[in-house]
Structure 1
Amino acid sequence: MPESPEVQALADELDARLAGRALTGVDVVEFRIEKTRGRPPESLVGEAVTGVERHGKLIDLVFGDAGRLVVSLGRHGWARWAAGDGPAPDPAPGDAGDPPPPTLAILSFDGTGGDGLDLELTDAGDWVSLGVWVVDEPREVPAVAKLGPDPAVPAFTRADFDAAVVGRRKQAKAILQEQESLAGIGNAYSDEILHTAKVSPVVHASSLDGPALDALYAATVGVVRDAVDARRGVPIARLKAEKVAAMRVHGRAGETCPVCGDTVREFSFASTTAEYCPTCQTGGEHLPLRADR
């Protein structure tokens, strides 16, 4: 799942390469991605991009007064330049031999001297999670309207964190991933945050004392912002590989914890999975591989 550090890097690259270019064509391969049927992406053809913004895990291509093309990457969506328009992706661990994700839409932009660009929107899932809206304001998109404060931005404060977390009878990992509470964090970075803070993925936020809350706040801000800085300037074709390589516990079940040397373990609850270190996070307790409730 794309998360704020990689989505910010994507927004930055799109802004650098597309600002000032006009949209010359739209080819929607999968009609289900269009969420504003009365205002399709083709309605922006001929308009120039004036900037690209990020809202949580969503991308916002701004076309001045003509409107905005907001893209929700969903669970498995991403973007890539058409062949020849950017560097080839580096394979992430476990990707060897996997076919590239299918293209669901192509956005074509003009250029001088034949240097136009084609941006492909892709989705690697078994079901379509990618979505595209054409709106005047980003908050017209339901997923944007419900977003909570974003730990990646400088305006995020301890008060924002406390309002989202303190006293809630809900697992800390679930709160970190809840977009209405904290925008931009998903499964991978929630694991990294909890490991850094030495907090169990299953503990309820209401049971955390002052020092634990201090550690969780510092980890939430630090892990996300450090990752944003680390991904800055990385070509979008290589962001997935960079993210995977940077993980300390997420996706590392069976490997050695880089902090204490214990073995990283996996825990699954309903549709959520987590990787954690027993020594660092659960007082040595091994959580069941799968919890029924």
Structure 2
Amino acid sequence: MPELPEVTALVADLSSRLIGRRIRRLQLVSFAALKTFDPPVSALDGGTVTGVDRHGKYLDVVVAGVAGDELHLVFHLARAGWLRWRSAAPSPIRGSKGPIAARLELEPDAAADPAAPAGRGGDGFDLTEAGTKKSLTIHVVHAPADVERIATLGPDPLDPAFTVDVLAGILRAAGRSQLKGVLRDQRRIAGIGNAYSDEILHVAKLSPFARAAETDAAHLHAAIRQTLHGAITRADGLAASELKAEKKSNLRVHGRFGQACPVCGDTIQQVIYADSTFQYCPTCQTGGRKLSDRVMDRLLK
């Protein structure tokens, strides 16, 4: 799942490609992905992209509509979604069983290609989603806050207003909740998912099962900023096609079960839940103790 650093990089990449361009149409392939109906998708036709923004893990393409109103094409790539840029006119989409959920087509850019034939779509991007469980969501709205999950997002950890005191208040309010879950809860802190919560906790040398209210806010705050800023710096300037490989190659513990911890050399362990898995280093984070993994413990009985 793309998280805050990757979505930030996608914003930069799309801004350089989209701003000032006119939309020909947004073609829906997976109609279940569209979560809004007013304004209709066709309201984007002929509109000009004026900006690209991020709200937590949501991408927001800002469009000046032909009727003079501002529209927002907002999408969340979910666990298995991605954005694939096309530099040429697309071939027709055949059927609805492939990975493409939606396709944004731009009008030919006369400045870039004066010979582009009239009426033919130019470049653009596809929203794709692998697997059978489809969670990618698309919204066409007048304001980002019209998307309920954006309206209820917690503070952005890159915002200067996200201070140690703000984090301390979040941790106090979370009480005895496990720290891993608090970091992933988008209503508490926006943009951090499964991978970067693992990385943050490893940098901070904190157990995923630590109680939120008992955590040193200043220490955790420094780990959050260090981890996210480091990932953003590494992703700076990369195209969408390069971001997945960059993220995977630089993770310290997430997705590295059974490998050696890059800090202490201990074997990285994991805990499996019904719908997710996380990794940690026992020596760095839990005083050498292996955390209870109910799924694996049952298998070994």
Residue in 2 that maps onto 1:144: 150
The aligned residue for residue 274 of structure 1 is 278
Task: State the 1:83 CA deviation.
Answer: 6.2
Report the counterpart of residue 237 of structure 2 in structure 1: 233
Which AA in structure 1 matches 2:238?
A: V
Residues 1:191 and 2:201 aligned together = no
> Which amino acid letter does the alignment assign opposite residue 29 of structure 2?
V
Instruction: Determine whether 1:49 maps to 2:49.
Output: yes
Contact 1:151 1:225 in 2 (8 A): no
In structure 1, distance between residues paired with 2:259 and 2:62: 43
Structure 1: gaps of 5 or more residues:
86-100
Shift of 1:84: 5.0
Computed over aligned residues only, the root mean square deviation of the Cα atoms, in angstroms, reads 1.9
Counterpart of 2:105 (choices 108, 111, 119) is 108
Deviation at 1:160, TM superposition (A): 2.1
- Does the CA contact (< 8 Å) of 1:257 and 1:263 recur in 2? yes
Is 1:76 matched with 2:72? no
Aligned to 2:224: 220
- Alpha-carbon distance in structure 1 between the residues aligned to 2:221 and 2:5: 17
**1:126 maps to amino acid:** T
The 2-side partners of 1:177 and 1:189 are apart by 9
- The Cα of 1:288 is off from its aligned counterpart by 2.8
- Partner Cα separation in structure 2 for residue 83 and residue 46 of structure 1: 19
8 A contact 1:44–1:66 mirrored in 2: no
Q: What residue identity is the alignment partner of 2:183?
A: L
Instruction: Between 127-136 and 234-243, report the one with greater CA deviation.
Output: 127-136
Deviation at 1:131, TM superposition (A): 1.1
1:262 aligns with 2:266: yes
What is the rounded CA distance, in whole Å, between the counterparts of 1:154 and 1:122 in structure 2? 33
More RCO (CA 8 Å, sep 6+): 1
* CA deviation after TM superposition for structure 1 residue 144, in Å: 0.6
- Secondary structure of the residue that 2:166 maps to in structure 1? helix
1:171 is matched by which residue type in structure 2?
A: Q
Distance in 2, Cα, partners of 1:177 & 1:29: 30
Instruction: Report if the CA contact (8 A) 1:11-1:54 is conserved.
Output: yes
Q: Is the 8 A contact 1:40 1:133 kept in 2?
A: no
Amino acid at match of 1:149: P
Q: Deviations over 1:248-291 (max 9, x none)?
A: 00011111111111111111244342100000000000113336
Superposed CA offset, 1:43-94 (max 9, x none): 1100100000000000010013331111122222221113658xxxxxxxxx
> Which one-letter code corresponds to 2:288 in the other structure?
G
**Counterparts of 1:213 and 1:259 in 2: how far apart (Å)?**
23
- Mapped partners of 2:51, 2:289: distance in 1: 49
Tell me the amino acid that sits aligned with residue 40 of structure 2.
P
> In 2, are the aligned partners of 1:15 and 1:52 still within 8 Å (CA)?
yes
- What amino acid is aligned across from residue 40 of structure 1 in structure 2? P
Larger Rg: 2
Please give the alpha-carbon distance, in whole angstroms, between the structure 2 residues aligned to 1:28 and 1:271: 28
Equivalent position amino acid for 2:17 in 1? R
Report whether the alignment pairs 1:155 with 2:161.
Answer: yes
Partner deviation per Cα, 1:105-160 (whole Å, 9 max, x = no partner) = 10001212139312101112422211111111100001110100111233321122
Structure 1 stretch 275-284 or stretch 40-49: which is displaced more? 40-49
The unaligned stretches of length 5 or more in structure 2 are 90-97
More displaced stretch, 232-241 vs 111-120? 111-120
Q: Percent identity?
A: 45
Q: Which moved more, 1:75-84 or 1:50-59?
A: 75-84
Q: Residues 193-208 of structure 1 correspond to what in structure 2 (within 5 A)?
A: 193-208=200-215
Structure 2 vs 1, CA of residues 177 and 74 (structure 1 numbering), >3 Å: closer, same or farther? same
Q: Distance in 2 between matches of 1:135 and 1:255?
A: 45
- Per-residue CA deviation, residues 190-237 of structure 1 (Å, 9 max, x unaligned), is 0000000000011111233xxx43221110121112211221111111
Q: Does 1:288 align with 2:292?
A: yes
Q: How does 1:236-251 map to 2 (within 5 A)?
A: 236-251=240-255
